Amino acid sequence: MFGKILSADVRGIDGFGVSVEADISDGMPLFLMVGYLASEVREAGDRVRTALRNCGILLPPKRITVNLAPANVRKAGSKFDLPIAAALLAALGVLDPRELRGVLMAGELSLNGEIHGIPGILPMVETARNMGCTCCVVPKENLREAALVNGIQVLGAAHLKELLPAENPGKRGVFSALHSPEEESGRTDLLGEPSYGVDFSEINGQETVKRAAQVAVAGMHNFLMIGPPGSGKTMIAKRIPTILPPLTLEESLELSKIYSIAGLLPEKEPLIRERPFRGPHHTITPVALTGGGRIPMPGEISLGTNGVLFLDELPEFQKTALEVLRQPLEEGEVRICRSYGTYVYPARFMLVAAMNPCRCGYYPDFNLCTCGPGEVSRYLGRLSQPLLDRMDICAEAPRLSYEELVGKKDRETSARIRERMVRVHKLQRKRYQGSGYRFNSDLGGEGIEKFCPLGPKEEELLKNAFQRLHLSARACHRIIKVARTIADLEEATHIGREHLMEAICYRALDKKYWTR
């Protein structure tokens, strides 16, 4: 007796098909599972056998073999419990094998037959659609999430008994007792206006830093703020997502897939609508930051895709954790290599960081600073120059005066600033259409030559800055990209001297601390 059904697993943010086969034959009583399985998949045999018994189905004392193909790809997680149970039911003749053709199942079973939700349903359902499946059976908890994928029927199961014909008399078909997305009230699959709860208009003073933040958002540049404690660095960083353009449906689905794989997608809100803001503590490990583990999972930089990754107190982070950021910042993705495969996660985020100029936070104000020259050097020495070169914009946040703190001025709201950012982002997408670039920050050497030409006066200005500030080639390119963004904000066709000078100022600041 033989039964077969389709399931899926996830590698990176993409799913791949897995064929679950069950064979019951004469021989010594044995329950054998094969197919390059992780320990939690092997444990599925005991869970499935117990769940079937508690649903009134006893497995015969025969040789039972369950195979998960392809056998050369490692499978992990508890998602295969439900398809293993369905394949065994088909092999026993309880389910009609013909009704399981073109059906993909995934779900975790409890010992009493209840079906629990699992992470990664969204990429699995996409895989089912791409494989040409006509139906996908998922845990009822994941039904809203699965319904986001168009072009395939999705059904939810809350208990294994819902698949048994004997438990559903009078209903035709294997799936007649399952739940449909229409039964879930309040289903939403369209993007709405995000609500962040904070606004840029709440910030008093720090006009220079706010200007630098807007330039950074306009071109999706990495942004570093340096200043004493209480100068508003964290407050500004937390409001940066409020001026980012709203997520497109494509970006929202990509982000939802990442959160689904990480098991962080809310059941009642399966579609991520807001730009993420991830602010990990400085004790975070390199693995938690970039992703990985025994069963590779997305890290903080992938969870911040299409949004902001904020590193507060930057020098307090482990140096190894900061250095692993360098490659993802350049490539926009993270590759986690294991002996059994390579996992690729997106890492297209805007890096925002804040730091004090010294341990006490008040250098170079010698009236308040209690640090000696050696202490300042050791504190700043925790940041490598290659990492600083990857920060496109660096702005100083000075101490606020009392008048700035309590002053009542008409300040721009996040909504008004966001309108400007939307216009600039549309301009960049139109300019780079078909080129592989999205924003000014994505430009490589060839892209800079093509899209950011400089006149003779601008070339001379950049040459002087390069020599006087001892800039690296990477820093020089980033100055040009920031200048292109400043020109876009002013709706200028070409990069002018004033745009280049402002961009140079954003590079000169971090040099002040390193060349004191």
> Around 500, how many Cα atoms within 13 Å sit in the side-chain half-sphere?
22
Question: Of 473, 477, 479, 474, which is closest to residue 508 (Cα–Cα)?
Answer: 479
Residue 174 near residue 99 (C-beta atoms within 8 A): yes
Q: Tally the domains of the chain.
A: 2
Cβ-based neighbours of 23, under 8 Å, separated by 6 or more: 1, 2, 3, 64, 65, 66, 67, 91
N-term to C-term CA, the chain? 79
- What pTM was computed for the model? 0.87
- Position 112, amino acid: N
To the nearest 10°, report the CA torsion of 236, 210, 496, 513.
Answer: -70
Question: Does residue 267 sit in the same domain as residue 397?
Answer: yes
Element (H, E) at 33: strand 30-34
- Predicted confidence at residue 515, as pLDDT, reads 38
Residue of higher predicted confidence among 290 and 205: 290
Cβ-based neighbours of 440, under 8 Å, separated by 6 or more: 219, 220, 221, 428, 481, 482, 484, 485, 488
Grade residue 191 by pLDDT with cuts at 50, 70 and 90: low
Residue 433 resides in a domain: no
**% of the chain residues with pLDDT over 90:** 66
**Average pLDDT for the chain:** 89
Residue 149 near residue 108 (C-beta atoms within 8 A): no
Question: Does residue 177 sit in the same domain as residue 43?
Answer: yes
Question: Does residue 155 sit in the same domain as residue 25?
Answer: yes
Tokens 């602010």 label which residue?
Answer: 279
**CATH number for the domain that contains residue 112:** 3.30.230.10
Residue of higher predicted confidence among 214 and 364: 214
Question: Does residue 116 sit in the same domain as residue 255?
Answer: no
- Say yes or no to pLDDT of 513 above 60: no
Residue 215 near residue 389 (C-beta atoms within 8 A): no
- Predicted confidence at residue 171, as pLDDT, reads 59
Measured CA to CA, the distance from residue 192 to residue 186 in angstroms comes to 14
Residue 268 near residue 144 (C-beta atoms within 8 A): yes
Tokens 């349903």 label which residue?
Answer: 121
Residue 401 resides in a domain: yes
Measured CA to CA, the distance from residue 334 to residue 286 in angstroms comes to 12
pLDDT tens-digit readout, 273-318: 899 999 999 999 999 999 988 888 999 999 999 999 999 999 999 9
Question: Does residue 413 sit in the same domain as residue 267?
Answer: yes
- Predicted confidence at residue 370, as pLDDT, reads 86
3-state secondary structure (DSSP) of residue 494? coil
DSSP one-letter code for 194: -
- Predicted confidence at residue 293, as pLDDT, reads 85
Mean pLDDT within 115-128: 94
User: Whole domain around residue 147: which residue ranges?
Assistant: 2-183
- Predicted confidence at residue 514, as pLDDT, reads 44
Residue 272 resides in a domain: yes
Grade residue 359 by pLDDT with cuts at 50, 70 and 90: confident
